[in-house]
Structure 1
Amino acid sequence: MKRGISLLLLVLGQFAVQAQEKPWSLVRERIVTPWAEQVDVNAPLPEYPRPQLVRNNNWKNLNGLWNYAIVPKGQKAAPKYEGKILVPFAVESALSGVGRRVGKDSVLLYQHNISVPSSMRGKKVLLHFGAVDWQTEVFVNGKSAGKHEGGFDPFSFDITKLLSKSAKQEIRVRVWDPTDDGPQPRGKQINKPDGIWYTPVTGIWQTVWLEAVPETYIESTKHTPDIDAKTITVSATVAAAKAGDQIRVQALSKGKVVAEKVVDANAAAVLNIADQRLWSPSDPFLYDLKVSLVRGSKPMDQVDSYFAMRKISMAPDANGIQRMLLNNKFVFQYGPLDQGWWPDGLYTPPTEAAMVFDVDRLKDMGFNMIRKHIKVEPARYYYYCDKNGMLLWQDMPSGDLGNGWENHPGVIDRATDQKRTPESEGYYRKEWDKIMTSLYNFPSIVVWVPFNEAWGQFKTKEITDWTIQKDPTRLVNSASGGNFTQDGHMVDLHNYPRPAMPDPELFGAKRALVLGEFGGLGLPLTGHLWQERDNWGYQNFKSADSLFTRYATFMDRMAELIPMGLSAAVYTQTTDVEGEVNGFITYDRKVIKVEPKKLKKETEKLYNVKVELK
C-alpha cells in the first residue's frame, strides 16, 4: 500500500512539474515581421547551414523546441525546466517563446533529447553550433563535450565517445552572457537599450546540427583566387590524415570540369582557370568546387563548395588619389549600413525568406554594397550575397567600450587607443581571428573593419597590420569613423546627415577616401514602431516625399564628391532598428518607405561618374 501511494505521489509530482512548464507561443508584446507566422516550430530554419563546405547526405538539423531554465549563475543544474524555447532564437526574442532577460547573475540552461540516425553509426559524430552568445559549455549524456567563448563564430565538438547505445541521447547546454557588464565582443547589445543600443541576445542564435564524418575527414578548405595569374589556390585542413593521403580538387563551370589537380593532403592545389569569368555585382558568377580526400585509389571523404574569381585592390587615379578597385577597375561602392536585427528574432531572421527579402530589396534600390555593422551573420547570408552580387564590408563586433572619443579633423597621427586588459584584448583577438577564418571563402566580402568610431579601439596599428597579414586579399578599414591613424587601406569619415569626404590633399595619396556613414533620415510610421516614444533619426521627416527630396540632394552632392576622390559611401540604414527610425524599410519589414525604383534612379547616377586611373 505504501509503495502504491509513493508511486501515485511520484506520478502526480511529475504531472505537477509538467503542468508548470509553459508551452511555446510567440511573444506578442511588440511588432513582428510577416514571416513570424510562417516559422515551423518543428523545423525552424531547416536549410543546410554551411554552404561553403557541404556534406548534405549525412546530417541532421536539431533546431526546434528544447527545454529551458534560467537559474542563478552558481547553480549547476535546473531543479525543473520552465518550459519550451524555440532554438535557434535567443531567449530575449519573441520567436524564442520566452522573451526574458538573463543578465550576468544568471545562466541559461537548455536540455534536449535527440536520436542519432542509424546512417551515422560507425562514424565520427560532430555536434555543430552556428553561434551561441556568449560563454558556452555543452554536455552529452551528462558528460562535458567542451567549452567555447565567443558570440559570433561557429564551433563544434566531437561527441562520438559520449554517445550511449540507447536510442535517445541527451544534450544540455549552459550559457552565460554578461552583455555590457563584460569585456567580450557584443556588438550593439546593452542591458538597458536606448538610442543606437539594442536588446541583449543570450544563448543559441544560429542553427544546431549533427554531422557524421569518417575517421579521416576534410575539416575545412581555403580558397584564394588570383585573377591576374588566372588561378585559384585551394588548400584543405584534414583531420587525422595519414601518410600518403591526397586531395583531389576539381573546379567546375555549369557542371563541366574546367580544372583539376591532385596534391598531398597537406599541400595547396593551384588550378589554372582559363577563360575566367570574373565575379561582380552585375555578373556574380560562381564556380563549383569538389574536394575529395583519397587514400590510394579509395575515396575517403568529399565536400562540395564554390569560389569566385574576383579581386579587390587599390590604385591611384589620374590625379594621384587612391581608388578602391574591383577586378582592377574603379567601381564606386555604395550601400547601406545594415544592422541585421529583427523585431521578432533579434539577431536571427525568422526564416530564410525574411533574410533574402532584405538583400533583394537593397538590390532593387540599386545598391551594390552592404556594410554589415557590428554583427556577423549566419553563413547562408554571405552565400546569398555571393550568389546575388552584393559587395560586403564586414565589421568586427565591438566590446569593452571604455575609451573616450577623441577625433582630430584633418589629423591622422593623434589617435588615442584604449588600454584594454589582457583578458579583454584576448577576447577580441580570439574572436576576430575566428570570424575572419570562418568567413574567408565568401567572395562577397571585400573589406574588413576591425574598429568602429573608437568603440574599444586599441593597438590600432598592431591590429590593422595583423588583419592585413592574416588576409592580404582584402582591404582593411582600420577605424571606420574612429580615431584616424596612418594604418590600413582607407580613411573613413562619418558625417551626418549630409555627404562629406576626407580631405584628398591630406589623405588621398596613400589611402582610399570613404564616407563610412551618412544620412540617417528618419520617418516614424505609426503601427510599425518598436516603441511609441523616443524614436529618432539624425533628421526626421513627416512624409516619404519630403524625405526623398532631401535624399536626392544627397545623391547630387555625392556625384560631385566622386570625381574629387571619394571611392565609397555608406548610408544609414537598411531598416529601422528598435528606437531608430532612419531605415529605408520599417523594422517589421511591412513598409518600404520610398519606392525602390525612385531610389535606384538616384543611385545609378553614382555609378555613371567616370574616373580615370593613372
Structure 2
Amino acid sequence: MFKPLAAALVLLSTTLVPTAQATAPARPAAQPAWHLGTPPLTTPWTNDVSPTNALPEYPRPQLTRPDWRNLNGLWEWAPAAVGEQPPIGRTLNEQVLVPYPIESALSGLQKHQDRMWYRRTFTVPDNWKGKRLLLHFGAVDYDAKVWVNGRQVATHRGGYDGFDVDVTTALHAKGPQELIVWAEDLTDETYQPIGKQREVGDHGIFYQGSSGIWRTVWMEPLNVASIDRLQLTPDLPNQTLKVTAETSGPAGLDVEVTAYDGRKAVGQVRGKADTELRLPIRNPKTWSPDHPFLYDLKVRLIDRGKMVDQVGSYAGMRSVGLQKGADGKLRMALNGKILFNLSTLDQGFWPDGLNTAPTDAALRFDLEQHKRLGFNTVRKHIKVEPDRWYYWADKLGLMVWQDMPATKTDAMPDPWRAQFESELHQMVDQHKSFTSITVWVPFNEGWGEWDRAATGRIADDVKAQDPSRLVNAHSGVNCCNSHGDSGRGDLIDNHAYLGPATTAPTETRAAVDGEHGGFGLKVPDHMWFGDGSAYEMEPDSATLTRRYVENQTDVLKSAKQCGISGSVYTQMTDVEGELNGFYTYDRRVPKMDFAQVRTINQQIIAGADGTGSGIPNPGPGTPGADGIHFYPLDGTGEDAVGNNDVTLQGGATFAPGKNGQAVALNGDGQYVDTGAALLDTSKNYTASAWVKLNKADGAFQTFVSQDGDRDSAFFLQYSGQDQRFAMSFPGIRALSPTKPNPGQWYHVTGVRDVVKGELKLYVDGELVATKSACALDSSSTGNTVIGRAKFGGNQVDFLDGMIDQVHLYDRALTDAEVRTLYESGR
C-alpha cells in the first residue's frame, strides 16, 4: 500500500522509503582506527556524524523504491599513483568516512590527494537474487573508475552529476563482493568545472576544494524491465503534467501514472513507456513559495497486464515566464503573475564537510533560514547539490536559480569547452523535474567564457533543452571576465557591490541584479581563518542590520523605477574568509536582526509587482539661465543667485581663470564648500562648470558633488580609471569619448533625469554620453562641494587644476540650454 510521498520522505520510515543501514567492511587489526578530524569550526551537526549514520536518508526523492541499501560509511582508502593497478584483494592502509570529501574533517582524513583509491566489500541480500543490481554514485569529484570483483564496470567524468552502474554480471554467486573506486581530482590545475573550489582556499572568494566521493553511494535491485527516470514538466495552462517514464528492458511496455492529493487520486493516464504522456489534473493546486503544494505520484510499469515495476514520485504544478506589468516593463512571473525573485547567494559550503553537508537536517537548515528571513528564491551559486537539497526547496517553497559550476576564471581552452557543455546539459537533464528550479545560469561573470557568440549559443541550447524555464545566459554580464552581453536568454543580469544594480528590462528580456550587498561583520571565535573581510565591514550587528535595510530599500526603488524583477544578496552564511553572511560559517550565530530583515524583504516582494513606477514627480524646477545657485568664483565666494556663499578649504586660492578669476586647487585636500545641501538629489538636477586639469592620469578628480552618508550622491568628474570626463553614480559612469588635455579649459555639464532614468554628460555644449541609471537617487543631506568627492565615508578625488563659473539647477537642462550656457562663456 503506497503512502503519500511527501509524508514518507519526511518520516523516512515508511514501506516506500525505509532508512537503509550502511554496511561497512570489516577493519583489519593493523589498520588505524577512523576518527573525526578537527575542523577550524564545528557546526551544530558535526558531532551527529558517525560511521553508522553517514547520511542515511533515501537519496533520490523523485524516484523511490522500498528496497535499497546505503553504502555510506567507512571505506578503506589510500593515495594512488598514475598508472597504478587497482588494489584488488588488498587491504588499504587508511579509512575514510564516505560520502565526505577527503579534505573535510568529517572524512577522517582531512588532506588532499590528486588521485586516490576507495575499497570496501558488500553483500547482496538473499531476497535480491534473480534481480539486476544497480550501484548509484551521487557524485565523485572528478574522474572516476569503478571495479567490482576485479572487473572494471564504469568510468565517469564530472564532479557534480551522478552516475549508475549495472554490476549484475560482475557479481559472485554468493559471499562478499569487492567494490573499488579510483578518483582523480586535479581541481584548479585543469579547466574542469569546479565552482568556488581551489586546492587551497585563498582567504578571499575561493574556498578549500573537495575531492573524491562526496555524495551518497547506494545500491538497489531491479527487475529486467524497470523505470530508470521520470521526466516531469507541469503544463499549467492546459492543466496537465507531462510525464515521460524512461525505462530499461523490453520496449513497448505500458506505463500508468496516478496523481494524488493526499490519499485522493486526482488524475490518471496510461500509455507507452519512453513517450511523453499528459496526466490531466483538473483545477490544479499551484505550487508557489507561499503555498508549495506537491502532488504525490505513483508510477507503474506494466507488461501484458502484469506490473513489473513501481516507483513513487511527486511534482508541483507551476509555470515560469515573463510578463509586462502595469508600468509596461517586462518582469519575471510565476503562475501567470509577476513575482519578484528575492534571493540570497547560497554557496553550499560547510566548515566540517566542505562540499557535503554533515546531515540532512543541516542541508535543510539553510533553506529553512531563507524562509525565516522572508526570501522566496535561492541562487545556488556555481555548485550543484544532492537531490535532497532540491527536494527540501520543493517542499519548503523556494524558487531556485541553478548555476552551472564554473571553471577557472580565465577563458577555458578548446579541449575543455565540449566537456563543459556536456556537463551543463547533464546538469539540466538530471534536475529538470524539480519543481523549485525556475532559472538556469550557464555562466557567472564570464568565468571560463571564451566567446560572446558561443555564450549566446549555449544559452539558446539550454532553452531548447528545457523551454519550461528561464535562462540567464551570464549572471554578472557587466563584470569581471565577461565578454559582454550576447543578447540571448530571458534575463539581463548585472552585478553591483554594494549595489543594487539598476538594469532596465528590454522588450524581450527581464532585468535582474544577480549579486549585490556583501556587508560584513566579524564575530570572534566563529571565523574560519580567525579573520576575514567583506565588501563593506560594519562595527556591530545593529549597523549591519541598518545597512542591509538601507540596501534593500534601494532594491525596492530599483524594482519600481528601473524594473528589475529579481535580486540576489551576498550571502546566506559566511564562507571561509568571506564574512558577509546572515550567519557565521558554522551556522551558530545570526549576525542581523532577523525581524527587520524579514520586514524589508516582505515589503520588496509585495511592492515590486509592476503596478506603479515609483518615480517621483520632479516638477518643472526653477526657470532661468543661471539656475538656483551660481558661483562666478571671481575673487569671492559669492552666490550670485542664491544665499549660500562658499568658503575655500585647505588653502585653496583664487587665480586668473576662464572668465576673470577662478579657484585653483592642488589635488591635496583643497576644495570649496557651499555649507549646505543645495540640490534635491531625489529629483532632476544639473551641475555645470568650466574646468582645467593640471594632469590627466589614473587619479579621479571631482569637480562638483554632494555628500551622502557614505558616498557622494553624484560625481561630475574626471574618471582616472577611464581617463575620461564623467557624470557618475558609484559604479555607473556616463563617459566622454576622448581623453581631455591637461592645461585646456573645458565646459563640463552633468544632468540627472529621474523620469527617463538617465545620466547625461555634456562637454563644450555637446551631449557626449547617456547612461541608464534608474534607482540610485537619494535625498542627500550632505553639503554640495566643489573640487572633491566622498566615497566610502572618506573625502577623496580632489581636483588638481582650476574651476570656474559653477552653476546648479533644480531641473534637467535640455540640449539647447546646455549649448546656450556653453556659448555664453558663463
| 1:119-198 correspondence runs (5 A) | 119-194=127-202, 195-198=204-207
Conserved 8 A contact 1:337-1:570:
yes
Conserved 8 A contact 2:39-2:351:
no
Partner of 2:582: 584
| Residue aligned with 1:348, SS | coil
In 2: Cα distance, 1:189 partner to 1:58 partner? 35
Partner of 2:556: 559
| 1:448-467 correspondence runs (5 A) | 448-458=440-450, 459-467=454-462
How many residue pairs align between the two structures?
A: 573
Question: 1:599 Cα shift?
Answer: 1.0
| 1:442-453 correspondence runs (5 A) | 442-453=434-445
Partner of 2:494: 493
In 2: Cα distance, 1:559 partner to 1:319 partner? 15
| 1:365-384 correspondence runs (5 A) | 365-384=373-392
| 1:8-157 correspondence runs (5 A) | 21-55=31-65, 57-77=66-86, 81-103=92-114, 107-157=115-165
Bigger relative CO (Cα 8 Å, ≥ 6 apart): 1
CA deviation map 1:273-295 (0-9, x unaligned): 11211100000000011111101
CA deviation map 1:492-545 (0-9, x unaligned): 01000131221x2xx432211100000011112111111024x11000112111
Larger Rg: 1 or 2? Answer: 2
In 2: Cα distance, 1:538 partner to 1:375 partner? 22
| 1:314-333 correspondence runs (5 A) | 314-333=322-341
For 1:88, the aligned partner's letter is P
Question: 1:21 Cα shift?
Answer: 3.1
TM-score (norm 2): 0.68
For 1:260, the aligned partner's letter is Q
Question: 1:552 Cα shift?
Answer: 1.1
Conserved 8 A contact 1:400-1:424:
no
Partner of 1:597: 595
For 2:519, the aligned partner's letter is L
For 2:261, the aligned partner's letter is S
Question: 1:80 Cα shift?
Answer: 5.5
| Residue aligned with 1:32, SS | coil
For 1:344, the aligned partner's letter is D
Conserved 8 A contact 1:138-1:146:
yes
In 1: Cα distance, 2:29 partner to 2:315 partner? 52
Question: 1:18 Cα shift?
Answer: 5.2
Question: 1:20 Cα shift?
Answer: 5.7
Partner of 2:372: 364
For 2:386, the aligned partner's letter is P
In 1: Cα distance, 2:599 partner to 2:310 partner? 46
Question: 1:328 Cα shift?
Answer: 0.6
**CA-atom RMSD in angstroms:** 1.6
In 2: Cα distance, 1:266 partner to 1:45 partner? 32
- The question of 1:539 aligning with 2:513 is answered no
| 1:175-324 correspondence runs (5 A) | 175-194=183-202, 195-243=204-252, 245-324=253-332
Structure with bigger helix share is: 1
| Residue aligned with 1:469, SS | helix
| Residue aligned with 1:72, SS | coil
| 1:402-417 correspondence runs (5 A) | 402-403=410-411
Partner of 2:715: none
Conserved 8 A contact 1:69-1:80:
no
CA deviation map 1:452-508 (0-9, x unaligned): 000012411110000000000000000000332201001101000131221x2xx43
In 2: Cα distance, 1:489 partner to 1:257 partner? 37
CA deviation map 1:401-425 (0-9, x unaligned): 323xxxxxxxxxxxxxx6x31x301
Dislocated runs of 4+, deviation >6 Å: none
CA deviation map 1:98-117 (0-9, x unaligned): 000113xxx11000011111
In 1: Cα distance, 2:384 partner to 2:127 partner? 33
Conserved 8 A contact 2:498-2:518:
yes
| 1:314-353 correspondence runs (5 A) | 314-353=322-361
| Residue aligned with 1:546, SS | helix
In 2: Cα distance, 1:310 partner to 1:242 partner? 32
Match of 1:549 among 546, 549, 553: 546
CA deviation map 1:251-291 (0-9, x unaligned): 11112111111102232221221121110000000001111
Runs of 5+ in structure 1 lacking a partner?
Answer: 1-16, 404-417
Conserved 8 A contact 1:499-1:554:
yes
Conserved 8 A contact 1:355-1:381:
yes
Conserved 8 A contact 1:396-1:450:
yes
For 1:547, the aligned partner's letter is L
Conserved 8 A contact 1:70-1:102:
yes
In 2: Cα distance, 1:492 partner to 1:396 partner? 15
Partner of 1:439: 431
| Residue aligned with 2:344, SS | strand
| Residue aligned with 1:556, SS | helix
- The question of 1:612 aligning with 2:611 is answered yes
Deviates more, 1:188-197 or 1:87-96: 188-197
| Residue aligned with 2:400, SS | strand
In 2: Cα distance, 1:431 partner to 1:269 partner? 27
Conserved 8 A contact 1:316-1:509:
no
- The question of 1:521 aligning with 2:519 is answered yes
Partner of 2:417: 425
In 2: Cα distance, 1:556 partner to 1:297 partner? 62
CA deviation map 1:410-455 (0-9, x unaligned): xxxxxxxx6x31x301211111111111101101000000000000
Conserved 8 A contact 2:410-2:449:
no
Deviates more, 1:123-132 or 1:425-434: 425-434
CA deviation map 1:34-90 (0-9, x unaligned): 1010113113100000000111x2110000000000132232245762311000000
| Residue aligned with 2:438, SS | strand
In 1: Cα distance, 2:409 partner to 2:547 partner? 34
Question: 1:592 Cα shift?
Answer: 1.0
Partner of 2:509: 511
CA deviation map 1:170-200 (0-9, x unaligned): 1000001110111211111112321111111
In 2: Cα distance, 1:276 partner to 1:192 partner? 50
Identical aligned pairs, as a percentage? 40
Deviates more, 1:546-555 or 1:25-34: 25-34
Conserved 8 A contact 1:519-1:572:
yes
Partner of 2:814: none
- The question of 1:401 aligning with 2:401 is answered no
For 1:501, the aligned partner's letter is T
Partner of 1:413: none
Conserved 8 A contact 1:315-1:613:
no
TM-score (norm 1): 0.91
